[in-house]
């Protein structure tokens, strides 16, 4: 992905027993990506999401564009 180390974090809203994702937003500005990984498999693969797409996704979540299951 990059030579810079991602600083992973999980949302403070994640209290569901580990079925979460972690993101590393520290790579958004310098590299234009937001890595995303499964919190249950921290040594597994990470998706490199374009920063603009991640920003649009978060905005959609905040706006309620995706509804609830």
pLDDT(16) > 70 = no
| pLDDT value at residue 14 | 74
Distance CA 3, CA 23 (A): 17
Those residues whose C-beta lies under 8 Å from the C-beta of residue 39, and which sit 6 or more positions away, are 10, 14, 18, 19, 20, 21, 22
| pLDDT value at residue 67 | 82
Those residues whose C-beta lies under 8 Å from the C-beta of residue 12, and which sit 6 or more positions away, are none
User: Using CA of residue 45, residue 50, residue 53, residue 58, what is the dihedral sign?
Assistant: positive
| pLDDT value at residue 22 | 94
User: What is the percentage of the chain residues whose pLDDT exceeds 70?
Assistant: 88
| pLDDT value at residue 50 | 98
Let me know: does 18 contact 33? Beta carbons within 8 Å.
no
């Amino acid at each position: 992905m990059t030579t810079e180390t991602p600083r992973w974090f999980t949302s403070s809203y994640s209290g569901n027993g580990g079925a979460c994702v972690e993101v590393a937003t520290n790579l958004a500005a310098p590299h234009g990506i937001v890595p995303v990984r499964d919190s249950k498999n921290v040594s597994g693969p990470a998706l490199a999401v374009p920063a603009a797409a991640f920003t649009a996704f978060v905005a959609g979540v905040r706006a309620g564009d995706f509804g609830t299951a």
